[in-house]
Structure 1
Amino acid sequence: MTTRILPAVADADAARSVTTLLSQLPDAEPAAPVADSTQLLDTLARLAGESLDELPEVVLVHERIGPVPALDLVREVALRFPAVGVVLITSDAGPGLFAAAMDSGARGLVTLPLHYEELVSRVQVAAQWSVGVRRHLGGGGEASSGPGGTVVTVTGAKGGVGATVTAVHLALAARASGRTTALVDMDLQAGDVASYLDVQFRRSIADLATITDISPRVLQDALFTHSTGVGLLLAPGDGERAEEVTDRAARQILSALRHRYEVVIADCGTQMNGANAAAVELADTALLVTTPDVVSVRAAKRIVRMWDRLQIRKAEETTTVVNRHTRVTEIQPALVQKVTGTRITRTSVPANFKELQAVVDAGRLHDLDAKSTVKQALWTLAGELGLVKGVGPAPEKSGRGTLVLRRRGHG
């Protein structure tokens, strides 16, 4: 059997060492290393979207990978791609790390400096486990990008541009189409999802922050099921509790939600913190909302540049929607695309606050009239993003380079 191996190694010297040893492994087909966690998850998601057979049998995760910490990345890969055997490369061979790695879903550890015999043994065990799982799943069946599905973050370029209204209606549209949907308020200090949907609930995302193993029962206790069927995970009522939700907690919470729901929408507000950054980094789609004015577009550009500097997300991997669009404004979507370097959605949301005012004031955004041009645009946007059942996402105009992993003999 040929074993396909995908290494995730950020350090150039370590990558060369890993590649050299992998090339000596019997019946191995190593791919070129990916340099960060984002590239690894994107590559696996693309391959899984094609077929279970396209996924590598083994993924090697180096301890210095980033920006997602190695153990968190192991957990994310294990949750989203259960047919892939993950092996952690680490300089710490202690029992504490071994137990933590196994709890995260790793199939083995390889210690640094690398030794041929140990690497062969761990890769073979992980590969055999992967083949067994695939046989159990039915061989060449389709593999989803995760047990639950799609995570979309919605971030406002600045306050007042309509990020929460957008997030709420993306969730409502997905649920109305028949998809199980969760809406997470990750505007941790000033979240308004509860106010927009007329909800009073004492549980919040902060109640999950210190839980290391989020079971379905624990998750259900923290969620409020709205009358529309959308599961709501609300921001804490006391803003100071926002600091309890760390980047690691955010990744675990979103992974648990992804495991349970087909669509997860996270309203990230406008203030960036560790939790929001983690959400944007692991999201399948990072949606940035701006209005067609100079201040908002400049703010959008600042956010995109910050995400790029912090290795959270590249501009070309970010999707921007223009809210309150009119044909007479000087700033049109094409200009926003040019300024920010992001992909612009085909759908723009028209400027018509009069349609929204009554339902916003009543705290019942879900009662917005179906004839509303704003609602129609937002639900069309949900279809464009692939959140509506039966409607696939629009093809990307541009994006990061992709890595091809195929068996020998395949075209």
Structure 2
Amino acid sequence: MAYNVLLGIADSTLAGQAADLMAEDGDLAVVGTARDGGGVMSTLASEVIDVVVLHEDIGPLPVMDLAREVGRRYPQVSIVLVVRERTAEILRSALQAGARDVLAIPLSFEELQGVKAAGAWTQQLRDRARGEAASTMSLGIGGQLVAVSGAKGGAGCSTVALHLALSATTGGRGRSVCLVDFDLQSGDMGILLDLSHRRSVFDLLDVAHELSPRVLEDALYVHQSGLRVLLAPEDGEQEEDVTAPAARRILGALKSNFDIVIVDVGSVVTEANAVAIDMADRVLMVATPDVPSLRAANRLLEMWNRLEIRSPKANKGSEVLIVLNRAHRDSDVQPDLVRKVVEAPLAHTILPAGFRDLEPAVNTGVPGRLTDGSLRTSLAGLAEEVGLMPPEGNKSKKAKARAGQPRRLLGQSGQVAVETAGLAFLIILLALFAWQMVLIGLTHVVAGHGAREGARALSVGENVGEKVNDETHSIWRGGLDIDEGDDFVRVTLQVPLIVPGLDSPFEVDARSGAVLEDEPLPDAFETEEPTPNEDEDDQ
């Protein structure tokens, strides 16, 4: 077996000598040569390396620090140091840094035995880890697996599975969630999510016996919400290639690597989705409120019993739930009738008929466009009922207060803030308009008062301008205009714009008439003063 070696040697001559010796050995394959620490780390990130050979002068970091960093990031990779002289201090430092061996210059075939031993240690470590992972994956130990089936075609199991997965992702407190489309002949999860991802479950068949987290990640599509999606094959005839052992290994690997795995198994029983139903911790069967759908549900339950996918006891227990979809109060078939007719228990959460709410999400491939309403609330409630969301008892008080409100997915988390901001702007605009109306009314009052005072001054012969100016508040004096006639006074004022002192283009005027005393008082009202002679005669 050849071991992949990365040379971290800055000296090109020494690197060439080391590469030539390894090429002659036959068991060591030089994958690449790095001139500095950055090149070593970038190569480790892109290539499968068994042994890293680091020269003491590689830089820019001290070689011991670089060895510690490689060991921290890639603990499965062996580290071998190349030094000019093997002193006790260097050996002690190399041991503390995690190096497997220390080679001295000049290199020889005897020295290379240390590199081969390090490569063998790496391979043994990886084989052991791979075997333990395969054992765990084959047992399916790990997260929760929920299978969603349709009583018949068109019942809506793909839509339910998708929104359950999104609810678990966005409301699951950081839990990893994977959605698997095991409707292998007619899976349309890629259409519902508008995906152009070309990898599917078919790409995992050749490596199903040694699935690793890295291989799984390469086959999964990562949705913007954090949800991982494994699509069905693009060609329906490839369904026959997905055998029961391969399906068990794939689902076991996914269950071992994710907290929640939701599998859309469609409505047709195949070898692969039978395995999914058998491995599932909980099975949901989506049915519609009509007699053909309910008969199909019972027929499918009986088939599972005959194939021993689910025992009769399991069918009547809590592991299988009938989810009633598109329910309406005007339907002939109501939930009470479904409980009597179907052999499995009915979920407490009923999904209402709401295609108009769902239509924007289905037609655009953006599930987040599901309109807020009873359907969205019911889907979130179903996720809580089957254990995909945190239980009510673990929620904070704030979360409990929002329990009855529709939940928002993906990009709609800021919708409330936007609506609140728009409503606040409208309220402020209305308040400013009302204040402006108050200012217009005040201007009318001030103009009328000024006109009356000006008319009174005109009647008694006083200075009209001074009188009106004194009686007008300083706020309106800047736009004050006085028109003094023979028997009237007109006062014109500028209306303030929002803030007093800031004039608007609008004007308000008021006119008041004056009564002038042009004729002398009548003689009858004049008083005659006595003359001095008359006073003396009286005495």
Is the TM-score greater than 0.5? Answer: yes
Structure 2 residue aligned with 1:401 = none
Does the 8 Å contact 1:347/1:377 carry over to 2? yes
Contact 1:384 1:392 in 2 (8 A): no
After TM superposition, which residue ranges in structure 1, 4 or more long, deviate above 3 angstroms? 101-106, 145-148, 390-393
1:183 lines up with 2:185 in the alignment? no
Deviations 1:228-249 (A, max 9, x none): 1100000111111111111111
CA deviation digits over 1:31-90, x for unaligned, max 9? Answer: xxxxxxxxxxxxxxxxxxxxxxxxxxxxxxxxxxxxxxxxxxxxxxxxxxxxxxxxxxxx
Give unmatched runs, 5+ long, in structure 2: 1-130, 395-539
Residue of structure 2 equivalent to 1:62: none
Which residue in the other structure is 1:263 paired with?
260
Matched residue type, 1:277:
A
Contact kept in structure 1, 2:134 and 2:211, CA below 8 Å: no
1:300-339 matches, within 5 Å, as 300-313=297-310, 314=312, 315-317=315-317, 318-339=320-341
**Matching residue of 1:74:** none
The answer to whether the aligner puts 1:287 opposite 2:284 as a matched pair is yes
Q: Using CA pairs below 8 Å that are at least 6 residues apart, which structure has the higher relative contact order?
A: 1
Q: Which runs of 5+ in 1 are unaligned?
A: 1-100, 107-144, 394-411
- Give the equivalent residue in structure 2 for 1:400: none
Match of 2:189 in 1: 193
Asked if 1:161 is matched to 2:162, the reply is no
* Matching of residue 380 in structure 1 with residue 381 in structure 2: yes
| Aligned-partner Cα distance in 2 for 1:210–1:300 | 35
Cα distance in 2 for residues equivalent to 1:366 and 1:308: 37
Deviates more, 1:289-298 or 1:247-256: 247-256
The 1-side partners of 2:272 and 2:365 are apart by 27
Identity rate of aligned residues, in percent? 44
- Cα distance 1:103–1:379, how it changes in 2: closer, same or farther (>3 A)? closer
CA distance in 2, matches of 1:372, 1:382: 16
The higher radius of gyration belongs to 2
- 2:238 maps to 241
Count of residues in Structure 1 that have an aligned counterpart in Structure 2: 254
Structure 1 residues 392 and 198, CA, compared in 2 at 3 Å: closer, same or farther?
Answer: farther
Q: Secondary structure at the match of 1:161?
A: coil
- Give, in angstroms, the shift of residue 103 of structure 1: 9.2
Backbone CA RMSD of aligned residues = 2.2
Q: 1:274 to 1:391 in 2, by over 3 A?
A: farther
Aligned match for 2:273, one of 272, 276, 279: 276
Aligned pairs for 1:5-20 (under 5 A) are none
Deviates more, 1:322-331 or 1:270-279: 322-331
Alignment of 1:86-235 (within 5 A): 105=135, 148-177=142-171, 178=173, 179-211=175-207, 212-235=209-232
Deviation at 1:275, TM superposition (A): 0.5
How far did 1:365 drift? Answer: 2.1
Of 294, 297, 302, which aligns to 1:297? 294
Instruction: Note closer, same or farther for the CA distance 1:188–1:366 as it changes in structure 2 (3 Å cut).
Output: farther
- Report the TM-score when normalising by structure 1: 0.59
1: distance between equivalents of 2:252 and 2:289?
Answer: 34
Q: Which residue of 2 aligns with 1:368?
A: 370
Summarize the Cα distance change of 1:146–1:392 in structure 2 as closer, same or farther, 3 Å threshold.
farther
- TM-score, normalised by the number of residues in structure 2: 0.45
Please say if residues 140 and 253 of structure 2, whose CA atoms lie closer than 8 Å, have aligned partners that are also in contact: no
* Matches of 1:231 and 1:385, distance apart in 2: 20
Aligned equivalent of 1:341: 343
Task: Report the counterpart of residue 121 of structure 1 in structure 2.
Answer: none
The SS at the match of 2:187 is: coil
| Paired AA for residue 196 in structure 2 | Q
